[in-house]
């Protein structure tokens, strides 16, 4: 069986008892970055065989992982933070397991966009998750396609490109469109800033940007 195990996005206490049980009992753990995962595992006294599984090796590694799963091993996939498969490796392995008739379970747990969306103050009954936009090719066409979107839009962004994203959103959606920027969710310096796209751009230009970012933009 393959288990997808969400891990904390900041605070190490944001992990479920079930997730810890799965990690303790699995035969093998797959981690996006083994150094990051070891911090969590050591914190909870879990000592298991750990292999790297990330976007640069997942295509090559899938065949061997599927072989181990077919032999009856229980393998757990972790991301650096949040739920595997959500802007993190996981989809390709899940798809291949389904094709091969291997049981897959995904545990509920931490995902950065959920608290950011709820705290934004924008409608969250219907929304569209865009994750990270392409850095170059296809970026503008994606934004253009969202111009008529009526649902709240959720983006992930690095602190180095936040101002660029806000500028692009202003261009496509208008400077007065309501939005929110959440950063460092569940960490010591957690912050959610709300306002128009123009106001948010001015604020972060003056203050600077640090931490992982979730941007929520109101629909049309």
SS3 40: helix
- Supply the pLDDT for residue 60: 82
- Supply the pLDDT for residue 66: 96
Q: Are 212 and 185 in contact (CB under 8 A)?
A: yes
Check if 2-106 and 113-217 are the same fold: no
Percent of the chain with pLDDT over 70: 100
Mean pLDDT score, 17-40: 96
Per-residue pLDDT tens over the stretch 92-113? 999 999 999 999 999 999 999 9
Segment holding 81, helix H or strand E = none
- Supply the pLDDT for residue 15: 96
Percent of the chain with pLDDT over 90: 93
In this predicted structure, the answer to whether residue 203 has a pLDDT above a threshold of 80 is yes
Neighbouring-strand partners of residue 178:
196
Question: Quick one: which of 213, 212, 13, 26 has its CA closest to 109?
Answer: 13
- Supply the pLDDT for residue 106: 97
At the topology level of CATH, where does 113-217 sit?
A: 3.30.950
At the topology level of CATH, where does 2-106 sit?
A: Cobalt-precorrin-4 Transmethylase; domain 1 (3.40.1010)
Whole-model pTM?
A: 0.91
Q: How many CB atoms lie within 10 A of CB 204?
A: 19
- Supply the pLDDT for residue 217: 98
Per-residue pLDDT tens over the stretch 68-94? 999 999 999 999 999 999 988 899 999
Alpha-carbon span 112 to 72, nearest angstrom = 33
Burial of 148 (0-12, 13-18, 19+ CB in 10 A): exposed
- Supply the pLDDT for residue 58: 79
Q: Where do the structural domains in the chain lie, given as residue ranges?
A: 2-106, 113-217
Per-residue pLDDT tens over the stretch 165-197? 999 999 999 999 999 999 999 999 999 999 999
At 164, the pLDDT band (50, 70, 90 cuts) reads very high
- Supply the pLDDT for residue 54: 83
In this predicted structure, the answer to whether residue 127 has a pLDDT above a threshold of 90 is yes
Give the mean pLDDT of the chain.
95
Per-residue pLDDT tens over the stretch 36-66? 999 999 999 999 999 999 877 778 889 999 9
Alpha-carbon span 37 to 129, nearest angstrom = 26
In this predicted structure, the answer to whether residue 126 has a pLDDT above a threshold of 90 is yes
Residue 58, C-beta contacts closer than 8 angstroms, at least 6 positions apart: 89, 92, 93
């Amino acid at each position: 069986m393959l288990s997808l195990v969400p891990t904390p996005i900041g605070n190490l206490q944001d992990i479920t008892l079930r997730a810890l049980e799965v990690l303790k009992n699995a035969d093998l753990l797959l981690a996006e970055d083994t150094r990051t995962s070891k911090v969590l595992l050591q914190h909870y006294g879990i000592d298991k065989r750990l292999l790297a599984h990330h976007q640069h090796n997942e295509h090559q590694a899938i065949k061997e992982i599927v072989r181990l799963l077919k032999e009856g091993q229980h393998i757990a996939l972790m991301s650096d933070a949040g739920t595997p498969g959500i802007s993190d490796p996981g989809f390709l392995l899940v798809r291949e397991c389904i094709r091969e008739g291997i049981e897959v379970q995904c545990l509920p747990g931490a995902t950065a966009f959920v608290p950011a969306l709820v705290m934004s103050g924008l409608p969250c009954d219907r929304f569209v998750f865009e994750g990270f936009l392409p850095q170059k090719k296809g970026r503008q066409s994606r934004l253009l396609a969202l111009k008529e979107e009526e649902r709240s839009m959720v983006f992930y962004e690095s602190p180095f490109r936040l101002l660029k994203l806000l500028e692009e959103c202003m261009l496509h959606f208008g400077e007065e469109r309501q939005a929110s920027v959440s950063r460092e969710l569940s960490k010591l310096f957690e912050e959610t800033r709300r306002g128009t796209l123009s106001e948010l751009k001015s604020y972060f230009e003056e203050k600077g940007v640090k931490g992982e970012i979730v941007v929520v933009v109101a629909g049309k």
